Amino acid sequence: MSGAREAGPVILAVGGISLAFGGVKALSEVGFDVREHEVRAIIGPNGAGKSSMLNVINGVYRPQQGRITYLGETREEMEPHFAASHGIARTFQSLALFKGMSVLDNLLAGRNLLMRTNLLLQALRIGPALREEVAHRRRVEEIIDFLEIQHVRKTPVGRLPYGLQKRVDLGRALAAEPRVLLLDEPMAGMNVEEKQDMCRFILDVNDEFGTTIVLIEHDMGVVMDISDRVVVLDYGRKIGDGTPDEVRSNQAVIDAYLGVQH
């Protein structure tokens, strides 16, 4: 458990979300809420609809039914730009970095939303445009320090090893200074040490910036350690919701993981 923080009021809630691709149902009638400053985990077997859920929250997928309440405003579907500009950032399960760009540019791109100068000033690169570039560079360097990737800041991301790419992915999301951070399997494919580092980064983000975290993870040890509350999905339905201890003793969850005939 991450100790120091107090979970605040509900910042994000989804209700009755159903999503289908053609005839395939990815999510049916899923609902849960996320409190400010907490670490909220979504777990479930492969194909349970976890990533789809994140995609619904930040507007990549449009659900056929349901509502999303964010910052007190309820809507039927999220719009990616609205989500991004109102403080929802995310990382991706299979890396979705900008491979041809340097680490620095990837992180700066994460802050593009916060940049305001117009095209003409950018072309001339004078006055506000130059000041803005430098100011944002300063903020991005802080994140680079935080994630300990100083030595690769000018390397194109495509040439970095997997573990570092995962960190850059997190860095790009952090660069936007999000209120809610959606992490899609941030530790997939990592060894124990890398996982420990990543856990530390996640908890630090949560502690230092008070960022709310919604996390998909397969490693049960990690989930139980760092999350405050857990949602369990199976075949696109919610089968459990509560503190790690409650979820651990939930019969439906145990069945889903140990495999019981449906």
- Report the interface residues with other proteins, using CB under 8 A: 21, 51, 55, 58, 60, 80-81, 83-85, 89-90, 92-94, 96-101, 105, 108-110, 112-113, 115, 117, 119, 122-125, 129-130, 132-134, 137-138, 141, 172-173, 176
Beta carbon nearer to other proteins, 126 or 254: 126
Kindly state the smallest distance separating residue 173's Cβ from other proteins, in Å: 8
Please give the structure tokens belonging to residue 27: 């999510």
Beta carbon nearer to other proteins, 154 or 262: 154
Beta carbon nearer to other proteins, 115 or 190: 115
Q: Which residue has the tokens 């349901």?
A: 66
Give every CB contact of residue 178 below 8 A, 6+ residues apart in sequence. Answer: 87, 88, 89, 211
Nearest to 128 by CA among 137, 116, 139, 110: 116
Q: Which residue has the tokens 């857990």?
A: 230
Kindly state the smallest distance separating residue 221's Cβ from other proteins, in Å: 26
Beta carbon nearer to other proteins, 127 or 221: 127
Beta carbon nearer to other proteins, 123 or 258: 123
Distance between CA atoms of 222 and 68, rounded to whole angstroms?
A: 28
Kindly state the smallest distance separating residue 224's Cβ from other proteins, in Å: 27
Beta carbon nearer to other proteins, 7 or 95: 95
Please give the structure tokens belonging to residue 14: 């989804």
Nearest to 216 by CA among 36, 91, 56, 111: 91
In 3-state terms, what secondary structure has residue 180?
strand
φ, ψ of residue 223 to 5 degrees: the values are -60, -50
Kindly state the smallest distance separating residue 117's Cβ from other proteins, in Å: 7
Beta-carbon count within 10 A of 189 CB: 13
